[in-house]
Structure 1
Amino acid sequence: MSLTKLSVSYKCVNSIGNSLNLEEMMEEFLRTFIKETGAISGSFFVNRSLDLCEEVASLGKKNLFNIESIKKRLEDETLILEEVDKSIKLLAYKVKKGCLIFLYSCENDFDFITSILESLKNKIEINIDSCLNVENLKEQIEEATKENLEKERQLFEQLKMSQMGELIGNIAHQWRQPLNIISTATSGMQIKKELDILTDEDFKEYTKSILENSSYLSGTIDEFRDYIKDSNKEKEIIVQDRLKMATEMLRSSFSLESINIIEEFVEEEKLHFKLVLGDLLQVLITIFNNAKEALVEKDDLEYKWIKYSLRKTDYTIKITIEDNAGGVNEKIKDKIFNPYFTTKHQARGTGIGLYSAYGIIVNKLDGKLYLKNTEFGAKFYIELPLNVNYII
């Protein structure tokens, strides 16, 4: 092998395989090969399928050939060398999964050029395979990621709908008593009016009762609307109010299961935070309901309770929610925030509630969400960074 051929081969070999991106890799090779062999232009086409031949990289003069015609001829040939016009020759060279096409002036030494291509063929094909495998792997990862995100989105929607159903039930319980009071007050006024014994004091008392309970009903509608609305608008809230709202929305349904919601301690100083309303309620309701479901299964427990607290520390706002259901099995305690993990029957649990809550607190708020077993049961800890505005 001559020193010239050795030098050209060495430079071209070093230009192959420096990237796993097919376009970048072939552009670097073409640039070097064109320079070292005196080509006018160079192109690389990859066979994506039997019907699709795609130009991946092209440098130099605009194409003066029909790629479909060349591709068909290369099915039976490895090399095509022919005149494009009186001064230019086309050299097409078949490689695995594609072809290289160069334009040269007719004076070039084509035996020399084709011998260089022959020496490079194996490495070119190996690196084309590597790049295509990486492309396929990326496509598979992207497709799998899309599928997982879609499944997760559907599960989140199921969770939201499930929680909405529970909240509607809670609101129905909350509304029953005030509606009865309004109905009683209205009937009382009507009867006294018909008997002509309705006094001004009676009227004031009845209307006051109706207005107070109507206001309460309106408030529960606002709570429900804030929870279900899909909005990214921020609002500065008081954390105590969010916690109170969650407990009030759940208290009626918990009462039906003979579960007492106990306020252990709540910081008097108002703790302000900038949030989108719905998701914080989602986290709190998820944890409260998780405790409720654990307690419902304890038929032998005489007094069932859930205690919550809200404290301010030097650097955090700390919310705790504890139950007396006996705690979580130590073998699975570290798995409860994993996606799709559930201790419930498949018909009752998706395993996405606590995973979603963890994502909101940890990934979006830069906070902490963890669980400890106490002498009574499970105790969840929510820690949010103090004096920093985040979007939940």
Structure 2
Amino acid sequence: MNILVIDDAKLNLLAVQNIVAEYKIECNLILVNSPEEGLKKIESEKIDIILLDIVMPNLSGIDVLKMVRDKHKNIVIIMFTSLTDKKYLKESFDLGANDYINKPIEPIEFISRLKSAIKLREYQCELIESYDNIKNINVELKESNAKLQITQIELINREKLSTIGRFSAGIAHEINTPLGYSISNLYSINKYFSILKENYERINAIIQNNYNNIKDTKYLEELYENKNKIEFIFKDFDTLIKESNEGLNKISYIIKNLIRFTNKKMYDSFQLNYLKEIVEETIILIDSELEYNKFKDIATIDYEIEEESYIKCNRFDIEQVIFNIIMNAIDFFNKSDEKVKILVESCKDEKWSYFSISDNGPGIDENMKDKVFEPFFTTKEIGKGLGLGLSACYDIIVNKYKGEIHVENLPVGGCKFSIKIPN
């Protein structure tokens, strides 16, 4: 307990020193005989209690009291007074003094008031310590709550994926069989069509070569009339077969993705994955989400992925990171009439795999850039978002993969999320 005594009368300082020693008060007693020196001690040392004389040269005790209370709210201050005019004492209490001691100093009164001040200061210190502990506990609880929220979201997403996976597996199985024979039948139709076309051309050539030998002109006119119809059918048939092939191949591609999507091992373990496939699957999920929420035409998502861009990862983790960042950009654009353009790019070296996601928006406020990965930070309206999407990305990339994730504003406009994870 550090007790500072400020009094220009050396006899008073000596009296305080003797009384404290006589009553064996355990404290560090600091004695100064000028207010200026006292103010220096307050700034240079941790002071718990101040015993302050009201009447002093240059600076009065009232002046010192004002200065101390402007900066230090918790120091216990006891005023020395020998004045009969109570207005100075009242002013002292108005400015934040805790108690007073009459001069000349009477030992019993002095020691009683000093002990009360010491107890008050001890209670203050305990209260401050409790408050700091509660603040620390509150911070820890917020962090734990954020982690729980992220874990909960991951569990919900995994459960959704599991349910979707089982549902998709059934759909994929049901579609795969008719799809197989449809593709096979279309191949046969195309083959038969080629044979028919070839024979038609041969017959047409025979008719042309023997035109002068055919006497039935009415029959020839019918042939030529039908010839035009048949040629139109052949021409249209080419287009129909081509479009049907493209459609069936697209369905086949989606089915393959669904089957891969239902492979639980891809989501529960680290494997070497082709980043292009992860990006394509994520875009399919985003397109479905946008179509469901009637925002189908709000976004254009392109990607430039290196052909040999394989990364060792948990497939679900990287899909979640890409999904969250892209949807975060799209959610922001919902506030405007502009169309969001998003580009996913990748590259790698011997140690790291890099990929980035950039958009054409207005960018991120410089004051907010350091906060975007904090749990519960969001610029959305209350009830529109929890502020955990980018925090989950940070947790996956930095904590789980020991990688890095950064966001920057682009000179041409928009912002760019850059991610790197070890190979």
TM range, normalised to the smaller chain?
0.3 to 0.5
Richer in helix (by share): 2
Richer in strand (by share): 1
State TM-score, norm by structure 2.
0.44
| Greater RCO, CA 8 A, separation 6+ | 1
